[in-house]
Amino acid sequence: MTLVSAILVLGGALAAGHRHRVYDAVILKTLGATSRRILLSHLAEYAVLAGCTAFISLVIGSLAAWITVNRVMDVDFAFSIRAAAEATLAATVLVAVFGGFGTWRVLKARPVPYLRTE
């Protein structure tokens, strides 16, 4: 449940800001920033965004699981820190990798078509 909610929230956030990130990458590339520097800055942004989203999803998912297990199923709730950390790390890495691939595609393209549309 935690991973599904994290993926949905994060997917929406990334889709909403993708055009802005592409434009920023094109402008920075035009001004002389190296592709490596742009890629690393975007990876850091994606990692922070993914980490925050995964943490919020972890809290909401754990609360929902606690309510379901304790109130509906009448079973003691056992929170696994290891499983929570693994899920958070997996979501963060996946988002950073997919975001990095999206940025890499933009960095390989010539900036002129993007600048002409603005």
Is it the case that residue 58 has pLDDT exceeding 80?
yes
pLDDT in tens, 16-48: 666 777 777 778 888 888 888 888 888 888 888
Whether residue 62 is contained in a domain is answered as: yes
Quote the domain boundaries for residue 106.
Answer: 19-117
Q: Please state, in angstroms and rounded to a whole number, the distance separating the CA atoms of residues 92 and 95.
A: 5
| CA 70 centroid distance within chain | 31
Determine whether 82 is exposed, middle or buried from the number of CB atoms within 10 Å of its CB (0-12, 13-18, 19+). Answer: exposed
Whether residue 51 is contained in a domain is answered as: yes
Whether residue 75 is contained in a domain is answered as: yes
- Into how many domains does the chain fold? 1
Residues 92-118, mean pLDDT to the nearest whole number: 73
Residues 74-93, mean pLDDT to the nearest whole number: 84
The pLDDT score that the predictor gives to residue 82 is: 92
Whether residue 8 is contained in a domain is answered as: no
Whether residue 13 is contained in a domain is answered as: no
Whether residue 44 is contained in a domain is answered as: yes
Structure tokens at 29: 């590339």
Whether residue 6 is contained in a domain is answered as: no
Whether residue 11 is contained in a domain is answered as: no
Residue with tokens 């997919």: 98
